[in-house]
Amino acid sequence: MILSQLVRLAAKNAIIALYPDIAVDDAMVAVNLTKPEFKGHYTVVVFPFVKLLRKKPDVLGKEWGEAILKADAMFTSFEVVSGFLNLTISDDFWTSFLTGHFNDTTFGRFGDTGQRVMVEYSSPNTNKPLHFGHLRNNFLGAAVSEILKEAGNTVIKANLVNDRGIHICKSMIAWKRYGNGATPERTGIKGDHLVGYYYVKFNDAYKAEVAALMAEGMDDKTAEREAPIMKEAQEMLRLWEMGDPEVRHLWQTMNGWVYQGFDVTYNRLGVTFDKMYYESDTYLLGKRIVEEGLAKGLLFKKENGSVWIDLQPDGLDEKLLLRGDGTSVYITQDLGTAKLKYEEFHLDKSVYVIADEQNYHISVLRFILKRLGEPCADGIYHLSYGMVELPTGRMKSREGTVVDADDMIDEMIAMAKAQTEESGKTLGFTEGELSRLYETIGLGALKFYLLRVDPKKKMIFDPKESIDLHGFTATFVQYAHARICSILRKEGLGKEPPAGTFAGYTATLPLEPLEQKMIQLLEQYPGILHEAADEYNPSTVCNYTFGLAQLFNTFYDAHSISKAENEEKKQLRLMMAVMTAMVLRNAFKLLGIAMPDKM
């Protein structure tokens, strides 16, 4: 059990022992970390019981503190300050904790929950390359998956590729018109970028055609409908749905280019998937569900043959599920995919990592599945995250105002290189080690930057300002880790010294305040993981690793480890250092960020 729970339990038991007649519910026993300006480690708030027992806060606090102390040797003293009962934990607790866990590589990992969780993320469209906003999605999905795994769940990472639809046809039409047979090989352009170029090209041509028609006196709505290039795209979509061999061939070819490009990017990002879904395979599945719902009378048909669900009882509107011509809409395929996922993997929970602009869409999806009596409805969780915006507003791929993911990665790595060279820290590295280091630092900084903010908040990124490598960054945490590794190297120890290494350690001296704080913060890691998993929130882990690295740096400055005052302190501090490095490393692994031993 983690310490905060132990304290809470001790406090609860003590108050029950003192006053057996009152009803104590858990919410009344408020336990917090003691503020640094007071003596003690954990604080119990006395107020909730003051009125109930009609006692003065200080009197009750004293009784309560004495009872806690008497019951458990873990506590050595207490102080009551204006209604707050501050408890001090014994040095013995801290040192036993450290000796018991410093080399426990599974520290923080939970037991198997038996839960099967799918996390769907990334889910790109195949008409354009990934941009900065997609990076947030990918990093979030990957990190949340790893955090949920660490929390004892079986996790299936899924990617649902939007590989069909009018947007793909737009790129295809533009390529046919303007491409002159261009391929990634012939042009030397990465496949996803090449296809994305024609998507932008389509929109330019479309705008020009609309403008031309309007110049001839057509009104804007009609012009937008009548522009030849748009009609061509719609015709191509129709042919695609009919399975026209030529269209299908071009579609496969161009999607193939995009996948090659994506693979390169995913590889650099270190993002992987256990299961790929393609909308071209799943887009028809929802129709059957809709037809069944219709047969059961849960849905209704309008005169033109379109099928609807009435969600007004749930506080929403009527929602279209099938068009008048019988073709499916966006939500239709989602119904099918949700059911498919559930049946294929027997999921307890299905997480969708999707931007908050689709909040309504996902809640509609859940309501529909619920109404249709599909069991997969209950497990749906929308991990809704805020969009990444530019100072000028949203990125628009149609207009080409995006920060490209590949460019961003290159820039970050170049910056890591420049700063490493500038600080003259390249000595003793081989060329290969250096380029790996630059990737580690550059990509780490990028991931941390996007993960450190609460997912639900939108972010504004100014491309003119580079992402910092100082302060609240991955680099800061990596640096603390590298420093520890350097100490361990000089002491002839590996990163994970075998169990017997500090067997000779016996605690006899009192802990320095910073020693105690370090151990206390290390002890909090499992609780942090729990919180991150509970809330699907990797930023909790970012904040924690930064705090731990920061405290270590303070410690490092204040106390020497290798030249400690005596052997006992040296052993203690080495164990602390080993454990700190391990926790930082494990936490960063969950975030998908590599940890250098040297930098």
Site for RNA in 504-543 (CB under 7 A): 531, 539-540, 543
* Least distance in angstroms from the C-beta of 480 to RNA: 8
Burial class (CB in 10 A: 0-12, 13-18, 19+), 396: exposed
Which of the residues 122 through 181 are near RNA (CB under 7 A)? 125, 162, 165-167
Applying the rule CB under 7 A, the residues between 429 and 448 that interact with RNA are 437, 441
Find the binder of RNA among 19, 97, 330, 381 (CB under 7 A). Answer: 330
DSSP-derived secondary structure letter, 139: H
Nearer to RNA, 168 or 250 (CB): 168
For residue 117, give the DSSP letter. E
Burial class (CB in 10 A: 0-12, 13-18, 19+), 381: middle
Pairing of strands 380-385, 318-322: unpaired
Return the residue of 487, 529, 581, 591 that touches RNA, per CB under 7 A.
487
Number of residues that bind RNA (CB under 7 A): 95
- Looking at 423, 430, 508, 566, which residue binds RNA (CB under 7 A)? 423
Among 75, 84, 266, 536, binds RNA (CB under 7 A): 84
Stretch of 33-41, 136-144, 189-197, 499-507 lying at the interface with RNA (CB under 7 A): 33-41
DSSP track, 520-540: HHHHTHHHHHHHHHHHT-THH
Residue 278 lies near RNA (rule: CB under 7 A): no
Specify whether the CB–CB gap between 341 and 355 falls below 8 A. Answer: no
For 440, residues 6+ apart whose C-beta sits below 8 A from its C-beta are 416, 478, 594, 595, 596, 599
Question: According to the binding rule CB under 7 A, does residue 470 interact with RNA?
Answer: yes
Tell me whether residue 155 or residue 328 sits nearer to RNA (CB atom). 328
Q: How far is the CB of 323 from RNA (least distance, A)?
A: 3
Residue closer to RNA, measured from CB, 155 or 307: 307
> Nearer to RNA by C-beta: 9 or 320?
320
3-state secondary structure 325-372: CCCECHHHHHHHHHHHHHHHHCCCEEEEEEEHHHHHHHHHHHHHHHHC
CB of 181 to RNA, least distance (A): 28
234 binds RNA (CB under 7 A): no
Alpha carbon distance 48, 51 (integer Å): 7
82 binds RNA (CB under 7 A): yes
Is 54 an interacting residue with respect to RNA (CB under 7 A)?
Answer: no
- The amino acid sitting at 29 is V
Residue among 225, 554, 565, 567 that touches RNA (CB under 7 A) = 554
Least separation, in Å, of the C-beta of 45 and RNA?
A: 4
Cβ proximity to RNA: between 274 and 534 the closer is 534
Residues 6+ apart with CB under 8 A from 463: 390, 403
Minimal distance in Å, beta carbon 555 to RNA? 7
With CA atoms as reference, report the closest residue to 597 among 431, 429, 442: 429
Spatial separation of the C-alpha atoms in residues 214 and 114, rounded to whole Å: 62
Listing DSSP states for 74-90 in one string gives TEEEEEEETTEEEEEE-
Q: Which of 96, 401, 435, 562 binds RNA (CB under 7 A)?
A: 562
Q: What sign does the dihedral 402-404-409-412 (CA atoms) show?
A: negative
Q: Binder to RNA among 20, 471, 500, 510 (CB under 7 A)?
A: 471
Within positions 563 to 582, which residues make up the interface with RNA, using CB under 7 A?
A: 563
Among the listed residues 156, 194, 416, 518, the single contact to RNA using CB under 7 A: 416
Q: Residue 356 corresponds to which amino acid?
A: D
Closest CB 186 distance from RNA, rounded Å: 29
Nearest one of 338, 354, 279 to 127, comparing CA atoms: 279
- Binding to RNA by residue 86, rule CB under 7 A? yes
Angle between the 330-345 and 285-295 helix axes, to the nearest 10 degrees? 100
Give whole-number Cα distances, 155 to 240, 495, 548, in Å: 35, 29, 28
**460 forms part of the interface with RNA (CB under 7 A):** yes
The pattern of x and - marking residues 289 through 328 that bind RNA according to CB under 7 A reads -------------x-x-x--------x-x--x--xxx---
Smallest distance, RNA to C-beta of residue 217, A: 25
Q: Which is nearer to RNA, 77 or 187 (CB)?
A: 77
Among residues 248, 456, 495, 517, which is the contact residue for RNA, using CB under 7 A? 456
Using CB under 7 A as the binding rule, whether residue 205 contacts RNA is answered as no
Q: Which amino acid is at 309?
A: I
Asked if 369 touches RNA (CB under 7 A), the answer is no
